[in-house]
A and B are shown apart, each in its own frame.
Chain A
């Protein structure tokens, strides 16, 4: 297997977004093999053995998730999470545009593995055109006998549908996504029960990210041992790193898990523009802690185990590069503004906390605040931690707390600018 890409194969194989080309390159052999020659449990077992972990950000073992499906309640559903909305993440869109059938085959195999007869693809509303393309491809698959009733002469039937969201980051959270699919406000559910026992319409459901599912056909076709030759022992396989921010060549880079930040940013991304220096890295998009971009950080392998050693999480591997022209108070003002806008309003600490933090970061960034406001910001952020139903609240404070802790001088400079201007002391907050 000399191919450079496992997922972004359209970069090597022209027209792989046409079904006949995809099939010429082995497409749908894995689904055929699964349905005709493997039991659902065998399919789940090979995915489990491959070590594949969820690529949406949580990194939960995919096969394990499938194995949790409640076999006493029917029907089962698969929902592909194509809500891609994390600032800095733009990989699923490229897969669905460039190599769509590999993703759709992955959805089909997942559905077979949990014996679902219906699968939904939940796309963010902004992927309107993409949803239209997928609808056409699904119709084509039905016409070709790769979707529909009694597939390959077996008893197994599968239908697939797209479902468009309408602009809500929170719907990337799997239970909020399910609520939204049911025609409700996209607000997370209290868990447990988790979707494999209580999912769409209260039925057992597996929700997987697009990139996760795109790995599945290759794993089923070539086996777990083959897949484990990529990546590290605990973080197996390849990952699409979405590289953005202050970098010469932003874009998606498919690399084995365990490649270093230095490789991604300097070898592939062409380094920092304008002769400036790298200052910080956000490895998981706007949800990320800020890593100080020193030599140790740059040489850190990008895998689920190593990134925490430098004080962040790999998440969806949306690497935002920050150079030394960027002030951290400005940066957290941007991220907090995002989370304030996207908070679904269900949990008070997130709804009120992001609102409060937005006002504080605006004051601090515009040089109208004193150090006590920075302390207050830290306090508010700390109070949000661990008190929300879903991770959004948690995500909102990562850049704030790490920013204040690791880039204190940036905040001191902003507070100083207030003293220099001699503005009156702000009223006590709250």
Chain B
């Protein structure tokens, strides 16, 4: 397995450059995102490598992965569909939306579709309360918001993601 240093030398350098030279630890959060880019979660090897770069212990890095909700130590779907059902969203039908979505995908909240493409999760407020129901899609490539959603529009997106992956396989 190749290392972060081999895969992303430029990225690591520019992340470290943001902080004073004696504060390498500040780079840890961005490095964990970098480690998730490929597989969607942080491997044990990446934990050790990040610890080395930041000059902290592997346990320190692992505790951050556990503390912050956008980090994962287990693989999930390639795309994580994260639906907000907090109070303002719930008042605009987000709970029903999540239920419909899961029903249509044939999975429960927290589960991954059989093809490994999607995990549906329920998350805390995403600062888009006026445009509920809404969700974000997290993948190795980053995060994107989808607002004013219906079950139909969400399933359309799922269809697009499926076609996109199928296209990649066909290459």
Contacts and interface: CB of A to CB of B under 8 A. Distances in A.
A183 B136 contact: no
B25 interface: yes
Interface of A: 84-90, 92-93, 124-129, 132, 161, 163-169, 180-186, 201, 242-246, 250-252, 286, 318, 320, 322, 326, 331, 334-335, 338, 341-342, 344
Contact of A244 (B29, B56, B88): B88
Nearest to B84: A87
A320 B29 contact: no
A166 B32 contact: yes
A244 B127 CA distance: 11
Q: Find the residue from A183, A251, A338, A344 having the highest chain B CB count within 10 A.
A: A183
A183 B64 contact: yes
A86 B91 CA distance: 16
Contacts of B136: 126
Given A166-B71, A168-B69, A182 B25 contact: yes
B69 A163 contact: no
A164 B127 contact: no
Nearest to B144: A129
A338 B25 CA distance: 29
Given A163-B29, A181-B26, 10 more contacts: A87-B88, A87-B129, A88-B129, A166-B32, A167-B124, A185-B67, A243-B130, A244-B129, A286-B87, A338-B87
B114 interface: no
A180 B32 CA distance: 13
B150 to A, nearest CB: 17
Nearest to B136: A126
A203 to B, nearest CB: 10
A332 to B, nearest CB: 10
A144 to B, nearest CB: 20
B45 interface: no
Main secondary structure of the interface of A (DSSP, over half): mixed
Nearest to B28: A183
Given A126-B126, A250-B129, A341-B124, A320 B70 contact: no
26 contacts: A85-B125, A87-B125, A88-B88, A90-B130, A125-B33, A126-B70, A127-B127, A129-B142, A163-B30, A164-B29, A166-B71, A167-B70, A168-B69, A182-B26, A184-B25, A184-B64, A242-B129, A242-B130, A244-B132, A245-B92, A245-B129, A250-B92, A286-B87, A334-B86, A338-B87, A338-B125
Q: Most A CB atoms within 10 A — which of B28, B33, B126?
A: B126
The 5 closest A-B pairs by CB, nearest first: A167-B69, A166-B68, A183-B25, A250-B130, A244-B129
B63 interface: yes
B143 A128 contact: yes
A390 to B, nearest CB: 16
B27 interface: yes
A313 B161 CA distance: 44
B127 A183 contact: no
B70 A166 contact: yes
Contact of A124 (B20, B25, B127): B127
B interface, size bucket: 35 or more
Interface string B70-81: 110000000000
Interface string B110-134: 0000000000000111111111100
A125 B86 contact: no
B68 A167 contact: yes
B163 interface: no
A245 B136 CA distance: 20
Given A185-B63, A185-B64, A251 B69 contact: no
A183 B54 contact: yes
B4 interface: no
A74 B56 CA distance: 25
B104 interface: no
Contacts of A251: 130
A182 B22 CA distance: 11
Interface in B45-103: 54, 56, 60, 63-64, 67-71, 86-88, 90-92
Contacts of B70: 125-126, 166-167
Contacts of A85: 124-125, 127
Contacts of B124: 85, 87, 167, 169, 338, 341-342
A251 B33 CA distance: 31
Contacts of B56: 183
B32 A128 contact: no
Contacts of B7: none
A45 B88 CA distance: 39
Contacts of B153: none
A284 B136 CA distance: 24
B2 to A, nearest CB: 24
With a 10 A CB-CB cut-off, give which of A168, A184, A344 has the most chain B CB atoms: A184
Nearest to B56: A183
A120 to B, nearest CB: 8
A166 B69 contact: yes
Contacts of A90: 127-130
